Amino acid sequence: MPKPDDAAWAKILWKKQPFSDNYVPQNLFLSSLRRNTNFKPYTYWPVVLLSCAITQHISTIFIFLATFVRLRERLLDPRTLVLISVACFVAGYTVWSWLDVAMISKADRNANHLKALKSSILIFFALMSLSPVLRTLTAATSSDSIWALSAVLFILNALLADYSVHDGQVHERLTSVLSMNAAISASVVLASRLTTDVAVFALVLFSVQAFALFPMLRHRLQASTTAVQCSLTLGLALTALSLTAPLSWTVTCIFFMTLVSVTFLAPACLVWAQKFKNEIRGPWDVAVPKVN
Amino acid sequence: MTPLSIAMISDFFHPDVGGVENHIYMLSATLIGKGHKVIVITHSHAPDRVGVRWLLPWLKVYYIPFLPIASSATLPNFFTSLPYLRTILLREHIHLIHAHASLSSIGHEGILHAHLMGIRTVFTDHSLFGFEDAASILTNKLLAGTLKNVDAVICVSHTGRENTVLRGELFERDATAPSKLIVRNNVYVIPNALVADEFKPGPPKSTDIITIVVLSRLAYRKGIDLLVATAPRICAAFPNVRFIVGGDGPKLIDLLQMREKHLLQDRIELLGSVRHSDVRSVLHQGAIFMNTSLTESFGIAILEAACAGLYVVSTRVGGVPEILPSDMISFAEPEEDDLFRAMSEAIRIVAAGKHDPQRAHERVKTFYNWEDVAARTEKVYDAVMKSPQIELWERMQRTMELGPFAGPIYTIILIVDCIFFMFLEWWMPREDLDYANVRWNAERFARLAEKERAKTMQSTVNAGG
């Protein structure tokens, strides 16, 4: 064997080279290895801002639960809740159509308004006529099972919800549909623990607001300015805390800890863990075909 | 070198068809020709291929009764193969086992058990894997566990070696500078080969119509999306070009839709799956071979096409750039525009008659042959047989280096394997084994065959008379 010399070595198989088969060219070996090529390090505050969506969602769940407890304990008149729901809907819809102004023509906007009005009236009456059925739906089931079931469903809802940012056209994914269904089912089984039809109607109407319509609005607001995001998050979190606090001190503590860890601790962990990132790329990777 | 008894172990072998299967068979046959004794151990095939079979040229194949779970690979369970392998390896007086393919669990198990009987181990890796997805992470850990204690590793291309060294963690500390990591010196590169005489160029064709051949599994990894995007453009730009596409797979539907959409039914012929014995006749119909793979460890199909005298256009991926000199192959990046450019160039070269199929065939013939591969593999075997066997204590130490979780698990497997082996030694003592002492005798076989033929001739003559 001649003296190993990297300059004479070529990365080819078709020609017999004057090197043994286990010769490793020190300078050329793994020369095409790339580490962390597509790696964009996260910084702390933008991640905190992105986590706001999760905070908002968890806050919504707790607002809903606090409302349910108040209805069950008869601390809240169901008719007031219906009024609040309608007010929320009107406010939310105003914001929604205000966001639409820039994107959609006037004729389309009017058609959309009519459609929205029609479907909201439809849902309103459908829920109203269904509420006696929903009230007795799980009469044969013990309350313990209902609490466990609704807890599982709400956890599923929070895990599967779509927290991504997208503007304009919402592309529904299977997970976000499942998430919404889990939340509505959870509220239906909870509603079945209430005693009057009006209360059931009020709670389910509120759940449609909170878990079907609000996430859609949230997606669009997420694309807007930081100030809007922060104030919305803060507003929701404070509302949830103030509604939970009078009911149970323990739950409020747990809820507060959850919010802090999701918003501030988890992003810090992510930023810290980035230093372990070691993405290896090389000629053996499956290429991504570029098609026009 | 002194003749050895070698056991090739892999999940992938005849009657399955493929690159690994063919490699094992050809290597075994060539080694037998060099005077070694070679057996193959693989899993059984439904309905009745189980037990011992013989393949020409006196290659003994053990089909042990394990059922494959997916893509012809068996479940990795570490221990259940030990009774079978122990009996086979002892009765055949095996000196060395040669495991193939990183997804073949029976090969890994062979390497795990071999040291118990003082048998040496070699491993050949045939494919490239990434590092990202969950499946790769798991199989790479499995591979790293096996390769910690293997005596030598062979890869089929330089790119494949880089990949295997990273996946199998084939580093060790430099003896002179302990902080530096260097590649273990028992990692070899020995390419695949082909039987050039099986891929002779066809009769000369006129250059009026240029046929482009594509032979590949129609799957995403083979870059069929690129083919779907470029084929209509090539057909529009060159009216004298037609395509022949052989192969089957999930992307067939895309090709059919493309053909329908651009009304190219008369110019793009889809053959469906092509048997290996028909590959040559398909290649003979074409002048250009197009390969759009997105990853490829060696690319034996490209070599076969080049050997059959076709001009090759390929994507620049994996080990493909290593296998042919640049004047026999045109490279394109895996992008639609670049592939179109490379194909246009190739069509012009072939149309101008600048590519000589006969000369290409003669050249490929000098590049690769099984004799050379077998001789180089023999050198690896020789180095392995001369190297000292790794002691059990060192095996355990090396295995512990795998990591805080995998290390202890693998060490426990190693120790349990030793205990299981001791149990088997007591339960099925070596003295009671049925040793295979008689080797295949070629002369005797020829004599018997001759006698048998004479007998049949005689009976035909008698019947005729």
Domain ranges of chain B: 5-193+370-432, 196-367
pLDDT tens digits, one per residue of B420-441: 999 999 999 999 888 988 777 7
Which of A1, A6, A11, A14 has the most B C-beta neighbours within 10 Å, making it the best mutation to test the interface with B? Answer: A14
Q: Which residue has the higher pLDDT, B253 or B463?
A: B253
Q: How far is B208 from chain A, CA to nearest CA, in Å?
A: 30
Cα torsion B446, B448, B452, B453 to 10°: value is 20
CB contact under 8 A, B189 and A15: no
Residues 6+ positions from B25 with CB-CB distance below 8 Å: B13, B14, B40, B55, B59
In total, the C-beta contacts within 8 angstroms joining chain A to chain B are 105
| CA-based nearest residue to B279, from B259, B315, B307 | B307
Which DSSP category does A4 fall into?
A: P
- Whether B196-367 and B5-193+370-432 are alike in CATH topology: the answer is yes
Chain A neighbors of B227, CB-CB under 8 A: none
Which DSSP category does B73 fall into?
A: B
> Nearest chain A Cα to B363, which residue?
A14
Q: Which of A5-14, A223-232, B30-39, B388-397 has the lowest mean pLDDT?
A: A5-14
Q: How far is A38 from chain B, CA to nearest CA, in Å?
A: 13
d(CA B136, CA B131): 6
CB contact under 8 A, A11 and B226: no
Cα distance from N-terminal residue to C-terminal residue, chain A: 50
> Nearest chain A Cα to B368, which residue?
A14
Rounded to the nearest integer, the mean pLDDT of chain B is: 89
CB contact under 8 A, A14 and B324: yes
Give the closest of A12, A22, A292 to B185, CB-based: A22
pLDDT band at A3 (very low <50, low <70, confident <90, very high): low
pLDDT on residue A166: 67
H helices within A161-280, ranges in order? 174-191, 197-208, 214-222, 226-244, 249-260, 266-273
Q: Which CATH number fits domain B196-367: 3.40.50.2000, 3.40.30.10, 3.40.50.800, 3.20.20.140?
A: 3.40.50.2000
- Can you read off the two tokens belonging to residue A6? 């990297």
Residue B310 has pLDDT above 70, yes or no: yes
Give the closest of A13, A280, A287 to B323, CB-based: A13
Which of B158, B164, B364 has the most A C-beta neighbours within 10 Å, making it the best mutation to test the interface with A? Answer: B158
pLDDT on residue B190: 92
Residue B247 has pLDDT above 50, yes or no: yes
pLDDT on residue A170: 57
The angle formed by the CA atoms of residues B371, B377 and B383, to the nearest 5 degrees, is: 140
CB contact under 8 A, A287 and B317: yes
CB contact under 8 A, B294 and A288: yes
pLDDT band at B419 (very low <50, low <70, confident <90, very high): very high
Mean pLDDT of B379-392: 92
pLDDT on residue A1: 46
Residue B364 has pLDDT above 70, yes or no: yes
- Which residue, chain included where needed, has tokens 């499956």? A286
d(CA B297, CA A284): 8
Residue B175 has pLDDT above 80, yes or no: no
Chain A neighbors of B168, CB-CB under 8 A: none
CB contact under 8 A, A22 and B319: no
CB B60 within 8 A of CB B52: yes
Q: What percentage of chain A carries pLDDT values higher than 90?
A: 41
* H/E stretch holding B38: strand B37-43
Residue B253 has pLDDT above 50, yes or no: yes
pLDDT on residue B169: 86
CB contact under 8 A, A14 and B376: no
Strand pairing report for B51-55 and B59-64: antiparallel
What's the CATH code, domain B5-193+370-432?
A: 3.40.50.2000
pLDDT on residue B107: 92
CB contact under 8 A, A286 and B294: yes
CB contact under 8 A, A13 and B189: yes
Cα torsion B200, B202, B208, B212 to 10°: value is -60
CB contact under 8 A, A14 and B315: no
The angle formed by the CA atoms of residues B63, B64 and B68, to the nearest 5 degrees, is: 95
